[in-house]
Amino acid sequence: MYLYPTNSFTKKRYTKRQQIIYQKGYTKRQQIIYLLIHHLHDREGWGYKKISQWLNKSSILTHTGKNWFSSSVISVLKRKHERDLMNQQIKNQHFSSMVSKFEVNYYIFD
């Protein structure tokens, strides 16, 4: 299955597996923000709106430099979970091996 082109200039397409292998990892800042949001939501029991308000009061911007909304907090938690599941499923795929007869033929043309 081929997905959208990753570079419109070269029109090169990657399969889902290739996209996961070559995908950019999270930055250190994104990892810290995810852990903070995860802690506030799961351990402290805060709601999405309260977390977004606290992040805005603390002058912590999103990775695009914008203010937080409850939907962006939900998105951070949801996308990280989805990405981790997808990576795990694709990396754990096993394909059966198939051995076939290999033959080399030489042809001489005069």
* 34 falls within a domain: yes
pLDDT band at 23 (very low <50, low <70, confident <90, very high): low
> Looking at the predicted structure, is the pLDDT value of residue 10 above 90?
no
- 66: closest CA among 78, 52, 49, 79? 52
Whether residue 83 lies inside any domain: the answer is yes
- Residue 2 has what pLDDT? 43
DSSP 102: -
Total number of domains in the chain: 1
Rounded Cα–Cα distance for residues 78 and 83 (Å): 9
pLDDT, tens digit (0-9, with 9 covering 90-100), for 57-108: 999 999 889 999 999 999 999 988 888 887 777 777 777 888 888 888 889 9
What domain range includes position 47? 16-91
Write down the pTM of the prediction: 0.60
Q: Structure tokens of 49?
A: 């709106």
Residue 29 burial class via C-beta count within 10 angstroms: exposed 0-12, middle 13-18, buried 19 and up: exposed
